């Protein structure tokens, strides 16, 4: 059965390939894409998202959302060191010919979830600002979400700080609103990227070989740029030279097929204050003495590792056969 889905993103390099996977997937019907301030500022995010949609071969409406975190913090840096100033690594993709819809992203999210005949899938690939605003505006949306799959958090480590992952760190208060909700949630943290959640050199070559498709052409250029950026930043190519591990791509793959990940369930709290730990996803591991569930809290499904071949098969089959 084809599942309806809405996606919230802050389009940088990994959001771009993640959107291309979702849009080309025969298992998902992407109804709309909402943009949030994150990797780069909102206007660049919108511009990048439109460019991605135009490479996807499909027509998907794009909506503009929050321009800042719930509590704006101008001392914070965006992620342009990782994604380039424009958010797409400076790759000269043509300017978009389309523009975003007039409706605000938060209103679109509320309206679409409330009007869905069956509980709808929701994927977030950026800071959770739009998602939190939608939930605060209309708490009943939590009852009509089949699964919220988020690229968010870290179990054993963060990336912006020792313990905080970028999407959560960019708006910890918004993340807290979402983690404290009773929505069914799957969290794809950083951890599986170092444990199976990557594409090999051979995988990327196959995608390059299908460059007659505009989505494969865009994905190949992004993977090549990502690989060079890892080198330019002097980062350790954890999974081997020439491999890529875009976090958002894995999150979409897990939303399509949860069997791609090995998961466990835990209560997760969100740290908004600590001296070293603001933006940390705090797992409650006290299962050894707990007999009863925690009141007012749902367990979150957490991906800890990925099945690399299954993951690569999904990406390649979706892009090359579609
Ligand atoms: Ca993202």
Give the pLDDT confidence of 103-117 residue by residue, as tens digits.
999 999 999 999 999
Strand partners, 148: 122, 185
Residue 33's pLDDT is what?
Answer: 98
pLDDT of residue 236: 83
The string of pLDDT tens digits covering residues 27-85 is 999 999 999 999 999 999 999 999 999 999 999 999 999 999 999 988 888 888 888 89
- Residue 161: domain span: 3-321
- How many angstroms is it from 295 CA to the middle of ligand 1? 31
Euclidean distance between CA atoms 247 and 137, whole angstroms: 29
Rounded to 5 degrees, φ, ψ at 20 are: -65, -35
* 128-185 residue pLDDT tens: 999 999 999 999 999 999 999 999 999 999 999 999 999 999 999 999 999 999 999 9
Half-sphere exposure of 128 (CA within 13 A, CB side): 28
Total of domains in the chain: 1
227 membership: H or E segment, kind and range:
helix 214-232
Q: What burial letters (b/e) apply to 122-140, b meaning 16+ CB within 10 Å? A: bbbbbbbbbbbbbbeebee
Please give the share of the chain, as a percent, with pLDDT higher than 90.
Answer: 86
In the block, tokens 């999974």 appear at: 239
Question: What CATH number should be reported for the domain holding residue 204?
Answer: 3.90.245.10
d(CA 108, CA 306): 32
Return the SS3 of 24. helix
Helix (H) and strand (E) counts for the chain? 11, 9
Which tens digit of pLDDT belongs to each residue from 276-286?
999 999 999 88
Q: Please say if the pLDDT value at position 322 is more than 80.
A: no
77 exposure class (CB count in 10 Å sphere: 0-12, 13-18, 19+): exposed
Nearest to 5, CA basis, from 110, 105, 112, 107: 112
Q: What Rg do the C-alpha atoms of the chain give, in angstroms?
A: 18
The Å distance, Cα 320 to ligand 1 centre, comes to: 24
Kindly indicate the confidence band of residue 292, based on its pLDDT and cuts at 50, 70 and 90.
confident
Q: What pTM did the predictor assign?
A: 0.97
* CB-CB neighbours of 181 under 10 Å: 20
Nearest CA-CA partner of 48 in 112, 4, 6, 96 = 96
pLDDT at 287: 78
Taking the centre of ligand 1 as the mean of its atom positions, its distance from the CA of residue 166, in whole angstroms, is: 9
Best CA proximity match to 34, nearest among 137, 128, 165, 145: 128
Interval between CA 126 and ligand 1 midpoint (Å): 4
Q: What is the pLDDT of residue 295?
A: 82
Question: How many whole angstroms separate alpha carbon 163 and alpha carbon 58?
Answer: 38
Q: What is the pLDDT of residues 204-216, one digit of tens each?
A: 999 999 889 999 9
**How far, in Å, is the centroid of ligand 1 from the Cα of 235?**
19
Residues that are catalytic = 10
């Amino acid at each position: 059965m084809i599942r309806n889905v809405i996606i919230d993103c802050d389009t940088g390099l990994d959001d771009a390939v993640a959107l291309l996977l979702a849009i080309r997937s025969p298992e998902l019907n992407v109804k709309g894409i909402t943009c949030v301030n994150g990797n780069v500022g909102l206007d660049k995010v919108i511009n990048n998202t439109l460019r991605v949609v135009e490479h996807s071969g499909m027509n998907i409406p794009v909506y503009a959302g929050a321009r800042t975190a719930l509590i704006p913090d101008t001392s914070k840096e965006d992620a342009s060191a990782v994604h380039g100033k424009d958010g797409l690594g400076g790759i000269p993709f043509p300017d978009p010919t389309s523009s975003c819809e007039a409706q605000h992203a938060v209103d679109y999210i509320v309206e679409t979830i409330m009007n869905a005949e069956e509980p709808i899938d929701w994927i977030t690939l950026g800071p959770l600002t739009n998602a939190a605003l939608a939930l605060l505006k209309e708490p009943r949306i939590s009852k009509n979400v089949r699964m919220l799959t988020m690229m968010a958090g870290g179990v054993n480590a963060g990336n912006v700080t020792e313990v905080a992952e970028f999407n959560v760190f960019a708006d910890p208060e918004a993340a807290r609103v979402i983690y404290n909700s009773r929505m069914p949630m799957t969290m794809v943290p950083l951890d599986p990227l170092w444990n199976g959640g990557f594409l090999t050199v051979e995988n990327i070559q196959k995608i390059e070989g299908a460059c007659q498709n505009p989505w494969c052409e865009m994905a190949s250029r992004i993977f090549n740029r990502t690989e060079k950026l890892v080198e330019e930043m002097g980062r350790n190519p954890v999974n081997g030279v020439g491999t890529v591990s875009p976090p958002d791509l894995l999150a979409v793959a897990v939303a399509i097929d949860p069997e791609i990940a090995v998961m466990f369930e835990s209560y997760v709290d969100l740290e908004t204050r600590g001296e070293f730990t603001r933006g940390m996803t705090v797992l409650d591991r006290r299962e050894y003495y707990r007999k009863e569930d925690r009141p007012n809290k749902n367990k979150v499904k957490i991906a800890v590792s990925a099945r690399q071949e299954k993951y690569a098969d999904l990406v390649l089959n979706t892009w090359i056969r579609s």
